[in-house]
Amino acid sequence: MSEGDISEPLRGGSVQGTARILSFPAAPKQVSFNRAELQTILNLYGRMVAAGEWRDYAIDFTPDKAVFSVYRRTSEMPLYRIEKDPKLAKRQGAYSVVVSTGLILKRGHELDRVLRVLDKPKVVSN
């Protein structure tokens, strides 16, 4: 038999195979931010970077929640965590802003309203 030839029993011959189709293992479910949510968060992040308040960020997706962490310096703990927890969507709201100490600043059903707690205008004194 030369290279590329197929043996005759596989072509519909007399041998019945026991071939089975195996499905891929299911990917573990992860909570993530959709495009609109990520755009809203990154718009705020861009404004705060331009103001010199924030310098770095990290995004974590787990089976329970999605977390966008904001840092002043990369070697520190995050200043704020913007979390999306779908389990709390019907009760308190899926979105929350958490300070590095664990205190929840704001929680709600709408991301842009929750993020307003971080986007307060600064008072400049003369």
CA distance 68 to 81: 6
| Domain residue spans of the chain | 35-115
Indicate the pLDDT class of residue 119, thresholds 50, 70 and 90.
confident
pLDDT in tens, 34-51: 999 999 999 999 999 999
pLDDT at 95: 95
d(CA 84, CA 74): 22
Q: Model confidence over 45-89: pLDDT tens digits?
A: 999 999 999 999 999 999 999 999 999 877 778 999 999 999 988
Q: Give the count of beta carbons closer than 10 Å to the beta carbon of residue 105.
A: 12
**How far apart are the C-alpha atoms of 28 and 119, rounded to whole Å?**
34
Left if phi > 0, otherwise alpha if psi is -120 to 50, otherwise beta: which for 14?
alpha
Distance CA 80, CA 71 (A): 7
Dist. CA 125–CA 105, nearest whole Å: 26
Q: Indicate whether 17 pLDDT > 90.
A: no
Helix-strand-coil split of the chain, %, nearest 5: 20, 20, 55
For 92-96, what is the mean pLDDT? 92
The maximal CA–CA distance of the chain, rounded, in angstroms, is 94
Task: Note the pLDDT of residue 39.
Answer: 96
Neighbours of 90 (CB within 10 A): 9
Query: What do you get for the CA distance between the two ends of the chain, in Å?
Result: 91
